[in-house]
Amino acid sequence: MGGAGVVDAVVVGGGVAGLTAAIRLAERGLRVRVRSRDGAAGTTSAVAGALWWPYRIEPAAEVGAWALASLRVYEELAADPASTGVRLVPGVHADTLLAGLGGWARQVGGLRQLAPEEVPGPYGTGLAARLPLIDMPVHLGWLRQRFEAAGGVVAHGAVASLREAAAEAPVVVNCTGLAARELVPDPGVRAVRGQLVLVENPGVDTWFTAADGASSETTYFFPQPGRLVLGGTAEEDDERTEPDAATAAAIVARCARVRPEIARARVLGHRVGLRPARADGVRIDTEPLPGGGLLVHDYGHGGAGVTVAWGCADRVAELVCGG
């Protein structure tokens, strides 16, 4: 099937939500084209940390099931980390109580409440876990290869409207993230700015997070191949895409309070991504298109797109294919 050939479905958006949805449809036998404004390296997904954990995402009643479905996939993919970019890595969620989590937490093996003296840094509570940590540039490349192996095609270029995409196929899947604000249009979509610092890893082999959902400042570090990812921020309605030097220095300082050797690590680079949050949480539903087509929405994942990607993709496939 060529890029301009007849297709059954067009998925608009080439980040983790779009690629996983496209994979699920293609592996059910549909002819699928992904339309992406940017290459995978230019998507918000490419900037993600990316640790599996339901963070800053609603609706709570559904997020647990989507997250657990995704967890099971990542646990399988971790068998081949060099290809998939997925590893199972131990770490600590500070300021987190097991009793305060949703019912989904009971189905995550190995979660353990720590004694105060076991929690690193200036924190009194914490939760130990061994979770999927995903190297997103590698993982996005793997997702594209899996999609193409199922017969899918990726076409680069912006879509001016969802109606334009509907001219290409009877099914359109909207995984446009922040761009859904204009394309749907949905004024409830808003940017949450995340800034990261990449440093040489001074020997850190576990991850750490301390993320207050009410604060614009978070503290986390993730050991990825060839680098240590430091974060971060959660700045609502801030759409600056250039790194801020003062913010970067504050991120390093916060992480160094947990692991002092980070203060001396050589800086390799800076990253900024705009998380696509939505006032009413993730939107997965359908609406009819002119001429009898079907529009499926899958956007508004905020800071947890990687965490729920496969669960949401399964739901998209159900809406398109049934069952």
Q: Is the pLDDT of residue 2 over 50?
A: no
Q: Is the pLDDT of residue 41 over 80?
A: no
Q: Which range, of 35-39, 80-84, 271-275, averages the lowest pLDDT? A: 35-39
Of residues 57 and 184, the one with the higher pLDDT is: 184
Distance (Å, whole) CA 93 – CA 163: 43
Tell me, what's the pLDDT at 25? 98
The three-point CA angle 286-280-59 to 5° equals 85
The three-point CA angle 59-60-66 to 5° equals 85
User: Domains in the chain, please, with CATH?
Assistant: 9-321 (3.40.50.720)
Give the Å distances, CA to CA, from 297 to 68, 123, 136: 21, 40, 23
Give the tens place of pLDDT for each residue, 222-254: 999 999 999 999 999 999 999 999 999 999 999
Q: Is the pLDDT of residue 3 over 60?
A: no
149 pLDDT band (50/70/90 cuts)? very high
Distance (Å, whole) CA 175 – CA 143: 15
Name residues whose C-beta falls within 8 Å of residue 53's C-beta, 6 or more positions apart in sequence: 93, 131, 209, 304, 307
Tell me, what's the pLDDT at 1? 32
Q: Is the pLDDT of residue 143 over 90?
A: yes
Q: Is the pLDDT of residue 60 over 90?
A: no
- What number is the average pLDDT over the span 255-271? 98
Give the tens place of pLDDT for each residue, 211-223: 877 789 999 999 9
Distance (Å, whole) CA 32 – CA 114: 47
- What number is the average pLDDT over the span 153-171? 94
